[in-house]
Amino acid sequence: MADYAFYTGTYLGGSIPAADFPRLAKRAEEQLARYKRLYTVVGEAEADDMAICAMADAMYYFETAQNAPQSASIGSVSSSRGTVDISPKAQAAELYRCAALYLDIYRGCG
């Protein structure tokens, strides 16, 4: 499994705090294991770790987006941000896309 040193040194990630990385990387590793049960997944050993880091980044983004306020107002001034699709379907599609950046994932025979 990818560790925080791999995340910052090889993957060159920087958005996930060190304290949150083990939890997110574990969830990403479990998702990759699920893909390997359902699909044919081909890639080198380092590609697995790169995919885990990419999926962990996406998971962190979704967690942050869920907790961020959509609008704010102070007195007569208000501000709102565009909506971000954080539905389970959008999250699943993004995790698959992140893994597919580094691994060949397909159905059928190898």
Domain that holds residue 98: 1-11+22-67+85-110
pLDDT for the residue numbered 55: 98
Q: Is residue 34 part of a domain?
A: yes
Tally of structural domains, the chain: 1
Q: Is residue 90 part of a domain?
A: yes
State CA 108 to chain mean position distance: 25
pTM here? 0.84
Q: What is the pLDDT of residues 68-103, one digit of tens each?
A: 766 556 666 655 555 678 889 999 999 999 999 999
State CA 2 to chain mean position distance: 13
